[in-house]
Amino acid sequence: MMLNYDAPLYRPPSEARSLIFQVTLGCSFNQCSFCDMYRSKEYSERPWEEIKLEIDMMAKQLPDTRRIFLADGDAFNLDADYMVKILRYIYEKFPNLERVSCYAMPMNILQKSTDDLKKMRDAGLNMLYLGIESGSDIVLKKVTKGATGKTIIKSVNKAKDAGYIMSCMVILGLGGKKYSKDHVQGTADVLNACSPNYVGALTLYLENGIKDEFLQKYNGEFVRLNDDEALDELEGLLSKIDTKDEIVFRANHGSNAYTIKGTFPQDKQQMLDKIRWMKEHPEVVRPEGLRGF
């Protein structure tokens, strides 16, 4: 017997081999115009009896589990004491566990006290996945992110200070042609100010269900970037990231036309050189039919 997930179920690419428990369903915010992951669900927090039953069941079937991801999109919205209760039981049942992670939003990091953040970290929640998307306040407002560049910086630094590993996402092309420069500069400013441990660059890919809503927020101003322009954005972003802290950078998501990876600061020039090479070899582009968000 396996878990009966409440679909759709999403997890970060790096959690592909993790055991997933849905401790919440949906997303408590659910207003980002570029995301339709949880539009079909109403946010709810699952009762302890259901979560405990699933932990017990999977502990018998997969006792050697090393990584667990807590879904859905907003597990970090749970009350700190409830999260600690879940975490302690998970570690009790999975003795070989190395990591537990979940998605988080800037607002639900900032809403928690430093003591609560540390309490959950001490209980074994190691890593948080946070969508920066853009550092431009103009773009963030257009896409109804529910955050500003300053609140994103504050939330990432607050979580890092509490001991969390932070893996953050940015979206190339999110500002379209009109706001491309603001998007690149603002995003670089945010990354320089908080230096997440990991940064993944995705490329905007609008599903049919939210495309109209997204475009309406831009009031007719949005013009999608082509592959060359998205690569220019990536080059601009990498050139403006200036940090002495180590940032593992990846632009190898399935939505991207081109693939780049490296670690700041030591691989910065190597990544920029590869982008320039790719501009001279457009045949290495990923076909549009093989891309997805």
In tens, the pLDDT along 205-258 reads: 887 778 889 999 999 899 999 999 999 999 999 999 999 999 999 998 888 889
Q: Is 62 in the same domain as 140?
A: no
Q: Is 112 in the same domain as 157?
A: no
> Which of 125, 158, 174 is the C-terminal boundary of a domain?
125
Q: What is the DSSP string of 73-121?
A: TTGGGS-HHHHHHHHHHHHHH-TT--EEEEEE-HHHHHTS-HHHHHHHH
State how far the alpha carbon of 153 is from the alpha carbons of 57, 88, 137, in Å.
39, 30, 12
What's the whole-number average pLDDT of the chain? 95
| pLDDT score of 210 | 83
> Which of 92, 125, 158 is the C-terminal boundary of a domain?
125
pLDDT over 90 (residue 106): yes
Lowest mean pLDDT of 64-68, 73-77, 144-148, 252-256, name the range. 252-256
Would you say residue 1 lies in a domain? Answer: no
The two beta strands, 67-71 and 165-172, are: unpaired
Please report which confidence band the pLDDT of residue 289 belongs to, taking 50, 70 and 90 as the band edges.
low
| pLDDT score of 205 | 86
Q: Which two tokens stand for residue 25?
A: 């369903």
Query: Dihedral angle at the C-alpha atoms of 103, 105, 108, 109, nearest 10 degrees?
Result: 90
**For the segment 42-65, what is each residue's pLDDT rounded down to a tens digit?**
999 999 999 999 999 999 999 999
Please report which confidence band the pLDDT of residue 163 belongs to, taking 50, 70 and 90 as the band edges.
very high
Q: Is 202 in the same domain as 279?
A: yes
List phi, psi (to 5°) of 199: -135, 130
> Which of 64, 90, 125 is the C-terminal boundary of a domain?
125
SS3 of residue 178 by DSSP? coil
Burial of 270 (0-12, 13-18, 19+ CB in 10 A): exposed
State how far the alpha carbon of 83 is from the alpha carbons of 161, 237, 254, 289, in Å.
19, 36, 32, 40
Q: Which two tokens stand for residue 112?
A: 């928690």
pLDDT over 80 (residue 290): no
> What mean pLDDT is predicted for residues 91-107?
97
List phi, psi (to 5°) of 98: -110, -30
Q: Please count the structural domains in the chain.
A: 2
CA 118/CA 112 separation, integer angstroms: 10
Q: Is 217 in the same domain as 269?
A: yes
Place of tokens 């990432």: 156
